[in-house]
Amino acid sequence: MMQKGALNIEKIREDFPILKRKVSGGKSLVYLDNAATTQKPLAVINAIHDYYMNYNSNIHRAVHQLAEEATLEFEKTREKVAEFINARSTEEIVFTRNATEAINLVAYSWGRTNVKKEDRIVITELEHHSNIVPWQILTSEKGAKLDYVGTDDNGYLKLQEYMNYLESSKKKKVKLVSVSHMSNVLGTIVPVNDMIKMSHEKGIPVLIDAAQSVPHMPVDVQKMDCDFMAFSAHKMLGPTGVGILYVKKEILEKMPPFIGGGDMIKEVHKYETRYNDLPYKFEGGTPNIADVIGFSAAIDYLNKLGMDKVREHEVELTEYALDIITKVKGVTLYGPRNTKDRGGVISFNIGDIHPHDLATIMNDHGVAIRSGHHCAQVLMERLDVAATSRASFYIYNTKEEIDIFVSALGEARRLFKI
Ligand SMILES: Cc1ncc(COP(=O)(O)O)c(C=O)c1O
């Protein structure tokens, strides 16, 4: 029996062929690695298939019918993305390969123009490597510095530290704040609206790494008032190979190009080039046409469910899972306990079982969880662990699956005599 909640899970699961497959010698697949990447509904798979079967062509260039059809579908996705996050215009939406490339684009283009020696960039201890390494590269090249806002023992950011960095921003010239909206390890939902407001009071722009938030809750870039936002299609039912960079138009207009080549130009002469309009100036070379078109179907799917409902469903699952897991002997949980402040990502350790061993036992039960440092080694150092296990939920997960996951945990405890 499926639970009756915010979403009709039984119906949703019908749309995901992969959820029917068996793993580990005939076990039903329990896919709890959604923070890494989500599964794809048939609509997305079919949209990609349809493109290759019926109108495969390059975009923006030729005038033949196939090219026109492909261009139309590609640009329709851009419109849907803009609408999904409530951007003012499609000119503010740049397609990249992933969230990582989107953040790197800002570091290379905006960063190299605006960050100078002795300047500071403020990030936090709970960032994914994608929101650390590009800033390390930039600051070391420029002789600038990185400042980290710390986290407390419950997985919340130490906002007083953040305010202190901003307060000292005149003297220390803070040029940018770059922060994750939701931690991929702790699940913490960061109070970005307040942080952006505080930062803007000092005239400092803010980049939001929304890789874990846009797929799981309603996000409105105008309400939030962020200057940059990055996320990936593959974490929200879409294909791999498509990232999204949102930049406020007035900022994007002043940014130099990232990758030079075809499509990002208007005119090229021997010694000079006139760049294309926004956002094409930032999309050099043939893009990932098929997967951008596939992403369109993913957005349609989420819109049909409603992002409020998606969030509601994940809160329900997380509440249910936290309730049970906290009672399992030997478990250490990381991140906020209150589901109002967290998403459907649960990181934990159990006794001294190595997370990789635990993930292997889980796999024997058909349960796919993640183990390791989750590309957040700065946070692992803060938590004083080498690795954690992580279960992460999405629209197709059920309470029954959480029960299977918990019973596999019990099996691991028995095996390791905890
Ligand atoms: C918070 C966060 N930021 C950035 C990324 C990077 O996403 P991608 O690998 O799609 O570039 C991830 C992926 O796990 C993430 O969780």
Peptide bond into 191 cis (omega under 30): no
Cα–Cα distances (Å) from 159 to 10, 152, 334, in that order, read: 41, 10, 19
Q: What is the pLDDT of residues 223-263, one digit of tens each?
A: 999 999 999 999 999 999 999 999 999 999 999 999 999 99
Q: pTM for the complete prediction?
A: 0.98
**What ligand 1 atom has the least distance to the C-alpha of 37?**
14
- Does 172 score more than 90 pLDDT? no
Give the pLDDT confidence of 311-325 residue by residue, as tens digits: 999 999 999 999 999
CB under 8 Å to 25, separation ≥6 — which residues?
A: none
Residue minimizing CA distance to atom 14 of ligand 1? 36
User: Ligand 1 centroid vs 100 CA: distance in angstroms?
Assistant: 6
Average pLDDT in the 392-414 region?
A: 96
Query: Quick one: pLDDT at residue 155?
Result: 97
pLDDT (tens digit per residue) in 265-313: 999 999 999 999 999 999 999 999 999 999 999 999 999 999 999 999 9
* Cβ of residue 188 lying under 6 Å from some atom of ligand 1: no
**pLDDT by residue (tens digit) across 144-169?**
999 999 999 999 999 999 999 999 87
Mean pLDDT of the chain: 97
Q: Which atom of ligand 1 is nearest to the CA of 180?
A: 1
Query: How many whole angstroms separate alpha carbon 212 and alpha carbon 393?
Result: 11
Residue 124 in contact with ligand 1 by CB distance below 6 A: no
pLDDT class of 418 with cuts at 50, 70, 90: confident
| C-alpha 53 to ligand 1 mean position (Å) | 31
Q: How far is the CA of 272 from the centre of ligand 1 (A)?
A: 36
How confident is the model at residue 4, as a pLDDT?
A: 64
Per-domain residue ranges for the chain? 9-36+306-415, 46-303
Which of 135, 216, 232 most suits a substitution to test ligand 1, by most atoms within 8 Å of the C-beta?
Answer: 232
Residue 102 in contact with ligand 1 by CB distance below 6 A? no
321, 375, 408, 412: which one is catalytic? 375
Evaluate whether the domain defined by 9-36+306-415 bears CATH number 2.60.40.420. no
Q: What are the pLDDT digits (tens) for 39-74?
A: 999 999 999 999 999 999 999 989 999 999 999 999
What does the pLDDT average to over 397-418?
Answer: 95
Q: Which of 33, 37, 95, 100 to mutate to test the pocket of ligand 1 (most atoms within 8 A of CB)?
A: 100
Select from 3.40.718.10, 3.40.50.2020, 3.40.640.10, 3.30.365.10 the CATH code of 46-303.
3.40.640.10
Sign of the torsion formed by the C-alpha atoms of 138, 140, 146 and 152? positive
Ligand 1, pocket-test mutation among 375, 379, 390, most atoms within 8 A of CB: 375
Rounded to the nearest 5 percent, the helix, strand and coil shares of the chain are 45, 20, 40
100 CB less than 6 Å from ligand 1? yes
Residues 6+ apart with CB under 8 A from 255: 109, 110, 113, 247, 282
Separation of alpha carbons 221 and 228, rounded Å: 9
Residue 375 bears catalytic tag: yes
Q: Report the atom number in ligand 1 closest to the C-alpha of 100.
A: 11
Q: Is the CB of 180 under 6 A from ligand 1?
A: yes
Q: Which of 250, 209, 369, 394 is nearest to 316 (CA)?
A: 394
The Cα–Cα gap between 318 and 316 comes to: 6
184 CA closest ligand 1 atom index: 16
Q: pLDDT, tens digit, for every residue of 68-77?
A: 999 999 999 9
Residue 5 confidence class, pLDDT cut points 50, 70, 90: confident
If residue 141 lies in a helix (H) or strand (E), which one and from where to where?
helix 133-142
128 lines ligand 1 (CB under 6 A): yes
Count, in order, helices (H) and strands (E) of the chain. Answer: 16, 17
Q: Indicate if ligand 1 lies below 6 Å from the C-beta of 232.
A: yes
Q: What is the model's pLDDT at position 3?
A: 53
**51 and 70 in contact (C-beta within 8 Å)?**
yes
236 Cβ inside 6 Å of ligand 1: no
User: Is it the case that residue 102 has pLDDT exceeding 70?
Assistant: yes
Q: Is the pLDDT of residue 2 over 60?
A: no
pLDDT at 138: 98
Question: Is the confidence at residue 356, as pLDDT, over 70?
Answer: yes
pLDDT in tens, 178-222: 999 999 999 999 999 999 999 999 999 999 999 999 999 999 999
Q: Is 149 in contact with 162 (CB distance < 8 Å)?
A: yes
**What pLDDT score does 249 carry?**
98
**Mean pLDDT score, 332-344:** 97
Alpha-carbon span 147 to 153, nearest angstrom: 19
Amino acid at 158: K
Residue 134 has pLDDT above 90, yes or no: yes
Residue with tokens 């490597």, as numbered in its chain: 129
CA of 410 to the centre of ligand 1 (A): 31
Q: How confident is the model at residue 170 (pLDDT cuts 50, 70, 90)?
A: confident
